[in-house]
Each structure stands twice: as C-alpha cells, then as structure tokens.
Amino acid sequence: MISEMSPIDRAKFVAAKRAADLVEDGMRVGLGTGSTAVWLVRCLGEMVRERGLKFRGVPTSTRTAELAREVGIEVISLDEARWLDLTIDGADEFDGEQNLIKGGGGALLQEKIVATASDQMVVIADVGKEVEALGTFPLPVEVIPFGWQTTQALIEEMLVSMDVLGRQSSLRMNGSAPFMTDEGNHILDLHLGRIGNPRQMALTLNQIPGIVENGLFIDICDIVVIGYGDGRVELRDINEGTVEHDRLELDETENLFSDLAD
C-alpha cells in the first residue's frame, strides 16, 4: 500500500506516475532501467490495462524488457523503432544543468543509445538525486573484458590531470564473479568524489582504448521530473526554461506496486 512506502519510494512513485502522463497513444517510448524506472513501467502497464493506452516500448535492458512484457506493454527493438518520440529513465545523480550520472544498474550503454535516439529524454528521480556537482555517486565506465586491467591503469593515469577529488577505481562484482553487462562487458566504477568538468571527463574517457562508454550523460536530458515523499512533483524543462509544480493525490488503498523492491 502507498501508506506503507518509505518516503524515497513515494518520491520515486510520484515522479514515475507524473512522467507516465507524458506518454501518448502511438508513441515509441524508450523505457529505462533501475529502481525508479521499474515504477514507471508498472505505471505505464496500468495505463495500458485500465485506460487502453497504446504505445510501443523500447527497453534498455533485458530486465526492463521482461517486466514490460509482464505488465502488458508492447515491446519492440530500437532497430524496429528506428527513432523514438520519448525516453523516460532514472538517474543516479543530476546537477543544475541536468547533466547526469547513470549506470548504477549496469545498463548505461543501451540507456545512452536509446536516449540519444529520442526526440526528448525525461529523467525521473527522487529529490535526493540532485547534487551541486556530479561525482559523489561512483561513475560507471563500461569496458571490454580483454585487457581490462590495462584499461583501468590508463583511466587512473588519466585521472591525475582531471579536476576530481579521488582517483580510485574498482571492478564491479556480482558475487564472486565480475558483473557482466547485457553486451558481455565489465564495469569499472570510478570513485571520484567530485567531477569538476563533466564534459571534459566524458570526452577524455571515451578516447581510452578498451572503454565502450561512460556513465556521464551530457546535454542529453531535456526534462527532469523530481518526486518528493509528500506527493509533490517538480518538472524542469531545460529547453523551455520552465519549472512546473504539482502534487499527486496518493490512493492509500493502492497496492499494485507493493511487490516492488528498491
């Protein structure tokens, strides 16, 4: 039930529910990956079942694809869609310029491809994800398995010349084995503390051999929908320069989402 949710879960839920209202009949929509995106997919599934909403979704991971099919959303590939009207996804951090760190769920490559193949990217997040400067959340970097330790050494050498607080990196693990992305790659998490120049960091990282993609999303997000635990929602449109405020009335008897975990 809604009343049993933590404040963070309520904030994620209202952000996802408000963003779901941006989806219209006939759209091709990118569906993100992660805990907040799960709320979005469930909300959209409810709209498909209860309101007859008709759209096609392009998931950014196998996990999202499985959930989308489960709740009744028509799933297609990006190659089938070719171009998207909208992508809605979460973020691990966002700053005042709506630059993002993504990849905590390990799907940053597909997420970035889908987001950049969209007319608009909408980010949904609880208010705690907003930061003055990116970098508190470890920056994910997807690397090919071949020579990953050499790639890691090159990254750490490069970081000496960057405006960051820390230069440590770690291989993301899944139990006792390295975490594997949907593309069969590894992820290095960079513990930087603060990234003084995210744009420079993103460009420099992708020049290092062995790196597939990094989790800095620069100039990609158009709208951020910020949820609060009391039901308030803030919608910031960086292109229009507008900020909208809303409050969603929460149905305390609602239990459709009670099985979701963070």
Asked if the structure places residue 152 within a domain, the reply is yes
Residues 135/192, Cβ–Cβ less than 8 Å:
yes
Q: Report the domain count for the chain.
A: 2
Consult the annotation and say whether 105 binds a ligand.
yes
Consult the annotation and say whether 102 binds a ligand.
yes
Consult the annotation and say whether 104 binds a ligand.
yes
Q: Which residue has the tokens 């959209």?
A: 44
What pTM did the predictor assign? 0.94
* Range of the structural domain that residue 158 is part of: 139-214
- Per-residue pLDDT reduced to its tens digit, 53-100: 999 999 999 999 999 999 999 999 999 999 999 999 999 999 999 999
- Is 249 part of the annotated catalytic residue set? no
Q: What's the CATH number where 146 sits?
A: 3.30.70.260
Cβ neighbours of residue 196 closer than 8 Å, sequence gap 6 or more: 133, 162, 163, 164
Residue of 24, 66, 80, 111 marked active site: 111
Asked if the structure places residue 168 within a domain, the reply is yes
- Per-residue pLDDT reduced to its tens digit, 169-221: 999 999 999 999 999 999 999 999 999 999 999 999 999 999 999 999 999 99
Q: Which residue has the tokens 């990118």?
A: 30
Consult the annotation and say whether 129 binds a ligand.
yes
